[in-house]
């Protein structure tokens, strides 16, 4: 009897950037030292224009999976967020589930990883502040680089992977 091994994700950084180029999604990618938490990359990000992000991979008590992408300075109260997005009690998803569904490891969670979820097991929630930003910055499936996309290019990316985000104004819900 053979043990099932998790399948490798279809896309890694290089394949993602090649796919974007082949599909006419303009982007600029900056390499940098590994960044695992929002606070660690503040100096690096200061030199890059646009809205920088934090990305939370979550699971609710009913087993639904969620990816919340928000501006790095947005406060997201997980005890209340479930009511805002229509989920059951939220907690962080584990590393195995993250890799299985989005093909990334902790520290590299990104909206661009939705390309590795063609079955759309993960519901995508986007902070309105990112939806309205001129430029958005995400890791390109690795935390050793940041990819900048003009808003039109980010929306093109989402359309190409058939994703319609649930846009939530977390800024107006905080407090």
Structure tokens at 94: 């584990």
Helix (H, G, I), strand (E, B) or coil at 85: helix
Q: How confident is the model at residue 108 (pLDDT cuts 50, 70, 90)?
A: very high
Does the pLDDT value for residue 45 go beyond 70? no
Tell me what percent of the residues of the chain surpass a pLDDT of 70.
87
Q: What are phi and psi of 162, to 5 degrees?
A: 60, 45
Does the pLDDT value for residue 42 go beyond 70? no
Taken in order 141, 145, 151, 157, the sign of the CA dihedral is negative
d(CA 46, CA 35): 14
Average pLDDT over the chain, rounded to an integer = 88
Does the pLDDT value for residue 150 go beyond 90? yes
Nearest Cα residue to 154 out of 121, 104, 115, 100:
115
Q: pTM of this prediction?
A: 0.88
pLDDT score recorded for residue 46: 59
Does the pLDDT value for residue 7 go beyond 70? no
pLDDT score recorded for residue 38: 59
Does the pLDDT value for residue 10 go beyond 60? yes
d(CA 48, CA 41): 11
Pairing relation of β-strands 122-127 and 65-71? parallel
Nearest Cα residue to 145 out of 27, 23, 24, 19:
27
Does the pLDDT value for residue 169 go beyond 80? yes
Structure tokens at 26: 């303009």
Q: Are 148 and 28 in contact (CB under 8 A)?
A: yes
Pairing relation of β-strands 122-127 and 145-150? unpaired
Tens of pLDDT, residues 109-132? 999 999 999 999 999 999 999 999
């Amino acid at each position: 009897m053979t043990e099932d091994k998790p399948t490798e994700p279809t896309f890694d950084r290089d394949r993602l950037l090649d796919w974007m180029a082949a599909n006419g999604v303009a982007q600029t990618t900056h390499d940098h030292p590994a960044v695992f938490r929002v606070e660690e990359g503040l100096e690096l990000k200061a030199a890059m224009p646009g809205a920088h992000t934090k990305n939370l991979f979550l699971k609710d008590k009913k087993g639904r999976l969620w990816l919340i992408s928000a501006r790095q300075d947005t406060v997201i109260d997980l005890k209340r967020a479930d009511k805002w997005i229509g989920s059951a009690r939220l907690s962080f998803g584990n590393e195995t589930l993250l890799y299985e569904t989005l093909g990334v490891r902790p520290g590299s969670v990104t909206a661009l990883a939705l390309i590795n979820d063609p079955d759309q097991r993960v519901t995508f929630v986007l902070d309105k502040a990112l939806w309205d930003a001129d430029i958005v910055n995400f890791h390109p499936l690795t935390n050793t680089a940041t990819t900048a996309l003009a808003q039109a290019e980010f929306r093109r990316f989402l359309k190409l992977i058939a994703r319609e985000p649930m846009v939530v104004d977390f800024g107006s819900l905080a407090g």
